[in-house]
Structure 1
Amino acid sequence: MTWSTVRLGSVVETLVPQRDKPDPLTGEIPWVRIEDFSGRDLSESKSGQGVTAEQVRTMNLRVFPPGTVLCSCSCSMGATAIATAPLVSNQTFIGLVPRRDMDSRFLFYLMGSMREELQSQATGAIQQYLSRDDFRSLRVPLPPIGEQRRIADFLDAETGRIDKVRVARGRMHELLRLKREGVIEHFLGNEERSVDLVPLKHLVEAVTVGIVVTPAAWYVDSGGVPALRGVNIKPGRIDAKDLVRISQEGHLVHHKSRLRSGDLVVVRTGQAGAAAVVTPDFDGANCVDLVIVRPGPSLIPRFAEYLLNSSYARRRVAEFAVGSIQSHFNVAAMKAMPVPRHSPMDQHRIVDEIDKATEPIDTAVSLMRRQDHLLAERRQALITAAIAGHIDVTTARGADV
């Protein structure tokens, strides 16, 4: 199937938001962020933030009209949604307003199929970025408008089926998570009532914090030292995706935040309280804006990990967390957290019992993650093939390539 190829700037108008952030954000026109992206259509701010018509006028804000395809041009590069109501945002996004020869839904899928290309073209040592000119110069296929709409109809139906399966699996994943929590709670019990409680500081060598002041000033594109951030810490595990690196100079300057195998790293902001043991892979790494707990001889790291991720610890974190928009947990609150005093032998026994009971659940979750990854790959491959004209959408059969 042969289609013409054109510069994206010839078939869309590009809208770049203003740099200044309005204050207050209490108006009726939604102010959207990457956290608001969920599915194809976007019409509101989940946090209820918005700007007024007066702010739009006095600050000369760019309003994305309905039908605009919003595409992330920095963080989460290539994340895409269609505005179904007037929206305003910061410079995380660029607005692509289709002209007569471009269908909004086709453009949505087109930009989604180009995420890897967008990421490869992005520049910036601290945060990758694509400019308006970069977007305008992209070469894109341009089928006839009727064919664009047929492709969009086909992808709406096919990706919708995949998305329904993924949503159902997401509910199953959540049930498994709750079951796992219940198992852990069974073995930990109501620790605050069953044994003596002592402040955590009495069971550890140290509690400190990672790099807080302008950490991005030390980021490097290659080499350097790995640095864990909140995005890398999940309850009970470390995710190396989106890992940043800091210079050797920064690592030397911030020697207090160097990590040792067996330390615990705890999220301070966002999913406050999520904790994971530092594995040998990250021994000697650094960290950014995380609480670092270095257990003493009377506290087993795995026991502390289970405890800090339990509902008991989450209640304590919520009690001491501060911040109206994002929960924020500090070092002093961590030191003061009451924790049960068990002998190391009892801690090892409890960890072994929890490991044995949660192993089949973890195996099921691991299998589901692999299957979810395959579903996501299938979805992306379907979009890429349809956009490239490798699928005859009138018959839903793969065309010869």
Structure 2
Amino acid sequence: MTNWKICTIGDLGMVIGGATPSTKAAENYDGGTIAWITPKDLAGFSGRFISYGERNITKQGLKSCSAKLMPKHTVLFSSRAPIGYIAIANQELCTNQGFKSVVPNDDTDYKFLYYLLKYNKNKIENLGSGTTFKEVSGSTMRDIEVSVPTSIEEQRKIASVLSLLDDKIEKNAS
């Protein structure tokens, strides 16, 4: 039997918020090659892996705001409007402020983290606050308690089984 531990999402990886370069400055977007994901890009998105959104930004656009370039296998989680869109970065990319993404630690399997966040979507959504629309803050996201196998090998086994099912669903949908 596998040992499980109670920990926080912040224990599993680095939680990173996104940002939006000024849309009034054309040099932030024109000819941009850096993938920039917004919650709108995940609306109706049924896959697990995402490489590009509707718009790219430039290096100048990235420097002009607090957006961070995140590595492949970062788990993207929309934190507002709406809360709970989830995808895995299939390449380096950045997001707008509608995300609290998680860059997994070396001892956290990225696919397991994806399924863990998907499983806990309602719990996370219920922790959102705000009057105009609900939002989950970075500190709230980091502090959410979850239960995970202590062994990355066990995380990979669980994720593998769930991935096989999703592979079949995606294949049947295409």
Looking at structure 1, the residues matched to 155 and 7 of structure 2 have their Cα atoms a distance apart, in angstroms, of 15
Q: Which of these residues, 10, 15, 35, is aligned with residue 30 of structure 1?
A: 35
Q: Pairwise CA RMSD of aligned residues?
A: 1.8
Greater per-residue strand proportion:
2
- Aligned position for 2:152: 145
Task: Name the residue aligned to 1:6.
Answer: 7
Equivalences for residues 222-301 of structure 1 within 5 A: none
Q: CA deviation at 1:60?
A: 4.4
Q: Give the number of the structure with larger relative contact order, counting CA–CA contacts within 8 Å between residues 6 or more apart.
A: 2
Aligned residues of 1:70 and 1:81 also touching (Cα < 8 A): yes
| Residue identity opposite 2:11 in structure 1 | S
Residues in 2 aligned to 1:100 and 1:88: alpha-carbon distance in whole angstroms: 20
Q: How does 1:327-346 map to 2 (within 5 A)?
A: none
Cα distance between partner residues in 1 of 2:15 and 2:56: 22
The residue that corresponds to 2:140 in the other structure is 134
Can you give the 5+ residue segments of structure 2 that lack an aligned partner in the other structure?
none
Pair 117,21 (structure 1): closer, same or farther in 2 beyond 3 Å: farther
Q: Is the 8 A contact 1:36 1:42 kept in 2?
A: no
TM-score, structure 1 normalization? 0.39
The answer (yes or no) to whether the contact 1:78–1:114 under 8 Å persists in 2 is no
Instruction: Give 1 or 2: higher helix fraction.
Output: 1
On the 8 A contact 2:17/2:67 being kept in 1, the answer is no
Identity of aligned residues (%): 28
Residue pairs, 1:189-208, within 5 angstroms: none
Q: Deviation of residue 142 (structure 1)?
A: 2.1
Pairs aligned (count):
165
1:162 aligns with 2:163: no
Deviations, residues 85-112 of structure 1 (Å, cap 9, x unaligned)? 1212211111200011111111011101
Counterpart position of 1:42 = 50
Answer whether contact 1:21 1:90 (CA < 8 A) is retained: no
Q: Does 1:72 align with 2:78?
A: yes
Q: Distance in 2 between matches of 1:123 and 1:164?
A: 37
Post-superposition CA distance 1:348-382 (Å, at most 9, x none): xxxxxxxxxxxxxxxxxxxxxxxxxxxxxxxxxxx
* 1:194 match: none
Separation in structure 1 between the aligned mates of residue 60 and residue 94 of structure 2, nearest angstrom = 13
- The equivalent of 1:63 in structure 2 is 69
Gaps of 5+ in 1: 169-401
* Equivalent-residue separation in structure 1 for 2:148 and 2:114 (angstroms): 13
Whole-angstrom distance in 1 between the partners of 2:128 and 2:64? 32
Query: Is 1:15 aligned with 2:16?
Result: yes
> How far does the alpha carbon of each residue in 1:29-48 deviate from its partner, in whole angstroms, 9 at most, with x for none?
01212232221101012x3x
**Structure 1 pair 61/119, CA: closer, same or farther in 2 (3 Å)?**
closer
- Alignment partners' CA distance in 2, 1:90 and 1:79: 13
Alignment partners' CA distance in 2, 1:73 and 1:133: 12
Aligned residues of 1:67 and 1:84 also touching (Cα < 8 A): yes
Q: TM-score, normalised by structure 2?
A: 0.86
